[in-house]
A = this chain, B = another copy of it.
Amino acid sequence: MKFTSSLFKAKAPIDKYSLYVPKTGVFPKKFEVGSIATGVKKNGNLDLGIIVNRNTSRKSTSSAVFTTNRFKAAPVLKSKEVLESNNYEGVNAIVVNSGCANSMTGEVGMRDAEKMCDLVNNKLHLDNQTLIMSTGVIGQKLQMEKIANGIDKIKFGSGFEDWLNMAKSICTTDTFPKLISSQFKLQNGKVYTLTGISKGAGMICPNMATLLGYLVTDLPISSRGIKKILSFAGERSFNCISVDGDMSTNDTICMIANGAVETDVVDVDSPDFEDVCKNVTSFAQQLAQLVVRDGEGATKFVTVRVTKSKTFEDAKIIAETISNSSLVKTALYGEDANWGRILCAVGYSKTENYDSLDENKLNVKFVATDGSTPSELPLLINGVPNLDVDEARASEILALNDLEIVVELNTGEEECNFWTCDLTHEYVTINGDYRS
29 cross-chain CB contacts under 8 A: A3-B8, A3-B425, A7-B7, A70-B359, A71-B343, A71-B344, A105-B387, A106-B385, A138-B340, A139-B387, A140-B387, A205-B331, A206-B331, A206-B336, A206-B340, A206-B341, A244-B326, A246-B327, A330-B428, A331-B431, A331-B432, A333-B432, A334-B433, A335-B434, A336-B433, A336-B435, A423-B428, A424-B428, A425-B428
Query: Are the CB atoms of B1 and A335 closer together than 8 Å?
Result: yes
Q: Report, nearest first, the 6 A-B pairs whose CB atoms are least far apart.
A: A334-B432, A330-B431, A71-B347, A104-B385, A69-B347, A1-B10
Chain A residues 313-343 with CB under 8 Å of chain B are 325-327, 330-331, 333-341, 343
Is A384 an interface residue when CB atoms closer than 8 A count as contact? yes
Is A53 an interface residue when CB atoms closer than 8 A count as contact? no
> Which residues of B have CB within 8 Å of A282?
none
Binary interface encoding of chain A residues 213-248 relative to chain B, with 1 for a CB under 8 A from any of its CBs, else 0: 000000000000000000000000000000011111
A contact set with B: CB distance below 8 Å: 1, 3, 7-8, 10-11, 68-71, 103-106, 138-141, 203, 205-209, 244-249, 325-327, 330-331, 333-341, 343-348, 357, 359, 384-385, 387, 389, 423-425, 427-429, 431-435
- Extra contacts besides A106-B385, A246-B341, A333-B432 (13): CB < 8 Å: A1-B10, A1-B334, A8-B425, A71-B346, A139-B339, A139-B385, A139-B389, A206-B336, A209-B327, A244-B326, A327-B431, A425-B429, A427-B428
Complex CA gap A331/B208 in Å reads 10
Known contacts A105-B385, A331-B431: A206-B337 contact under CB 8 Å: yes
Q: A387, A424, A429, A431 — which one has the most chain B CB atoms within 10 A of its CB?
A: A431
**SS class of chain A's interface: helix, strand, loop or mixed?**
loop
> Which residues of B have CB within 8 Å of A435?
336
Give the distance to chain B from A101, nearest Cβ to Cβ, in Å: 9
Query: Are the CB atoms of B344 and A246 closer together than 8 Å?
Result: yes
Query: Are the CB atoms of B11 and A1 closer together than 8 Å?
Result: yes
> Which residues of B have CB within 8 Å of A334?
1, 431-434
User: Pick the contact of A347 from B70, B340, B425 — CB < 8 Å?
Assistant: B70
CB-CB nearest in chain B for A201:
B327
